[in-house]
Structure 1
Amino acid sequence: MRLFVFSKKSLLKSIFVFLIFTFSAVFAATGRFAMLDVFLQTQRELPIYCVETNEKKVALTFDAAWGDEYTDEILDILEKNNAKATFFLVGAWVDKYPDKVKKIYQKGHEIGNHSTTHPHFSQISPQKMKEEILKTSDKIKRITGKGTTLFRPPFGDYNSLVVKTVKETGHYCIQWDVDSIDWKDPGEEVIYNRVVSKVTNGSIVLFHNYAKQTPKVLDRIIKDLKAKGFEFVTVSELIYKDNYYIDHTGKQRPIGNNTR
C-alpha cells in the first residue's frame, strides 16, 4: 500500500481549490454569479443596459445635448399615446432651454443626468466626473425642484472607474440595449425595424430629441409595441433599486425573491 504525505501548505492549498470549485459549482447552478464575482473580486463594473423581468415593460429614453427642434413634437406623441419616458439632459442644454426642462417634467416624464459639458468620461478624473454630474443635477433641481438619480455617460463611454464614480454620486449608471441610431438619420424604416425587432421585456431604448426622423416614426413604434403588449415606463420604474446584480452582458438581475 502506497502512503501519500501532504505538507500543511499543500493541504491548505488543496482545501482552498476544493472550496473554490464547490463555490463555483453551486453558484453556477443557482445563477448567483454576482456573489461569486464579489468573492473572487473579478467583476468588471458595468452600467445597466436592460432589466430582467417577466413583465412586458420597456423604457423609452431620449438624450438631449444639442438642439430642441423636435422636443415638443416628441412630447405630444408621448402624451397622445399615454407613454412615459426618461429624458437625459446635458447641463448646457438645461441652461439654454429651461422652459423645455420644465415642460418635460410637468408632462410627467423622468429627467436623467447626461453631464454638464458632454465629455468622454473615461478621459477625465473622478473629481471632474463628479463635478459634471452634480452641477447638472443642481441645475435641474433649480428648475423642477428635484435632483437626478440616473446618469447616462456621454457617447456611452465608460470604464469601471466611471461606473464606480457615478455610483458614488448617488446615481444609477444607465446605458441601453436597443439603439435606434436615429442620430445618423438612417431612414424611418431602419429606425422602426431596429427598435420593434429588438425590444424585449426590460429593454431600455435609446433615442435623441434632436434627430429629425424620430418624431416621424415614434408614434408607429409606440403603437406597434403596445399591440405586442408592452407598457412604457420610466427607467426608475423599470430598474431594481436594491437586491440586484448586473451580469456580464449589463443586464440587471434580481437576487433572491426580488423578482417581478
Structure 2
Amino acid sequence: MKNVGRMERLLQRHRGGALILLCTLLAIAGGVRFGNATAQTSSRAGDRELPVYCVETDKKQVALSFDAAWGNEDTQQILDILANHNVHVTFFMTGGWVSAYPEDVKKIQAAGHDLGNHSENHKNMSQLSKEECISELMTVHNKVKELTGVEMTLFRPPYGDYDNEVILTAQECGYYPIQWSVDSLDWKDYGVQSILDTVLKHKNLEEGAIILCHNGAKYTAQALDELLTGLAEQGYEVVPISELIYKDNYHMDHTGRQISDVS
C-alpha cells in the first residue's frame, strides 16, 4: 500500500508519462487492479473487452445512473426526490462539470450516492491514445479526490464509446467500466411520459439492469418521482451501481452481462 501511495503522489505532481507509469505499475503489481483490490476476473467475451452493461442476479434490483456533463439547474430537485424515495444512485461526472459545480459534487457525495468518472472533457475515448485516455480518467479522478476524498472506481465512457484499449486502460487505472442496458432517451427531450414509457416498458428492464439518465436533460427531474414509483410498483429496488456489480470473481457474456463465478 505504501508503494501505491507513492505512485499516486507521483501522479498528482506529473502528467503524461507518469500517468501511464502509474497504471502500468498497478497492473504489474497484482494482475489488473480493479477498484481497491486485485480482481480474479475477466471482462473479455470472445475477442472483445466489454464494460458492464447489466448484471446477472437473483435479487430484484436495478441501478439508476445520471450522467452529469452539462447544467445543474435540476440537480437539487433530483437529489430531493431521491431522498424522498430513500434511493441511492450513481452520478457519472465530467471534469468540466466537477469544476463548474463543486458544491453539487459535495452534496451528491454527502447524500450517499456513488461518484463516477465520465472523463475530463467528454471525448470519444476510442479515438485517443492510451496516454490521452489515462489523462482523461485521472485528471477528473484527482479533482474529485481533492474535493471529496473519494477514490472513484466506476467509469462510463462518454457517448458509450469504447474499444479494447479503452476498457483495459480504465481497468489498469483502478476502474470498473460501466455501460447501460436501459436508455431512458431523456436526452432527446420527448417529454415526461416518453421517459416513463421508455424505461418502465423497456424490454431489458429486469433484475440487474442499469438505467441511463442525464441530470441536465429537460424533463428528467419532472419524470423522476413517477419513474421511481413505477419501478417500485414493479417490485424493483433501486441501488447504486457499486452495490449492483460484482467486484471480483466474475466473467462477461457476449452481451456485456456480468456473471458471478461464485456459486
TM-score (normalised: structure 2): 0.81
Query: Which residue matches 1:56?
Result: 60
Give the aligned partner of residue 140 of structure 2.
136
Quote the residue 1:228 is aligned against: 234
**How far does the alpha carbon of each residue in 1:70-121 deviate from its partner, in whole angstroms, 9 at most, with x for none?**
1111111100111100000000110110000000000111100000011100
CA RMSD for the aligned pairs?
Answer: 1.6
**Percent identity among equivalent residues?**
49
Q: Which residue of the partner structure matches residue 10 of structure 2?
A: none
Matched with 2:187 is: 183
Q: Which position in structure 2 is the counterpart of 1:16? A: none
Question: What amino acid is the match of 1:87?
Answer: F
Aligned residues: 221
Tell me, which stretches of 5 or more residues in structure 2 are unaligned?
1-40
Normalised by the length of structure 1, the TM-score is 0.82
Check if 1:203 corresponds to 2:209.
Answer: yes
Whichever residue aligns with residue 221 of structure 2, its letter is P
Structure 1 equivalent of residue 21 of structure 2: none
State the 1:43 CA deviation: 3.0
Give me the whole-angstrom Cα distance separating, in 2, the residues matched to 1:256 and 1:67: 42
Task: Select the residue among 114, 132, 144 that pairs with 1:110.
Answer: 114
| The one of 218, 229, 240 aligned to 1:212 | 218
What CA distance in whole angstroms lies between the structure 2 residues aligned with 1:256 and 1:148?
A: 25
Write the deviation string for residues 123-158 of structure 1: whole angstroms up to 9, x where unpaired: 000111111111111100111111210000001101
| 1: CA distance, partners of 2:87 / 2:242 | 14
Q: Residue by residue, what CA displacement relative to the aligned partner does 1:223-253 show, whole Å, maximum 9, x if unpaired?
A: 1111221111110100001110111001001
Query: Are the counterparts in 1 of residues 54 and 256 from structure 2 also a CA contact under 8 Å?
Result: yes
Query: CA shift at 1:189, angstroms?
Result: 1.4
Q: Does the residue aligned with 2:131 lie in a helix, a strand or coil? A: helix
Q: Highest CA radius of gyration, 1 or 2?
A: 1
Q: C-alpha separation between the residues in 1 aligned to 2:230 and 2:81?
A: 14
Q: What's the counterpart of residue 239 of structure 1?
A: 245
Match of residue 94 from structure 2: 90
SS at match of 1:202: coil
Q: Which runs of 5+ in 1 are unaligned?
A: 1-33
Structure 1 stretch 84-93 or stretch 219-228: which is displaced more? 219-228
TM-fit CA distance, 1:217: 1.0
Partner residue in 1 for 2:254: 248
In 2: Cα distance, 1:43 partner to 1:122 partner? 16
In the TM superposition, what whole-angstrom CA distance separates every residue of 1:26-71 from its partner, at most 9, and x where no partner exists? xxxxxxxx98x97xx9431010000000101111000001111111
Instruction: Give, as a single letter, the amino acid of the residue that structure 1 aligns with 2:162.
Output: Y
Q: What secondary structure does 1:236 align onto?
A: helix
Runs of 4+ in structure 1 deviating by more than 2 angstroms, as ranges, are none
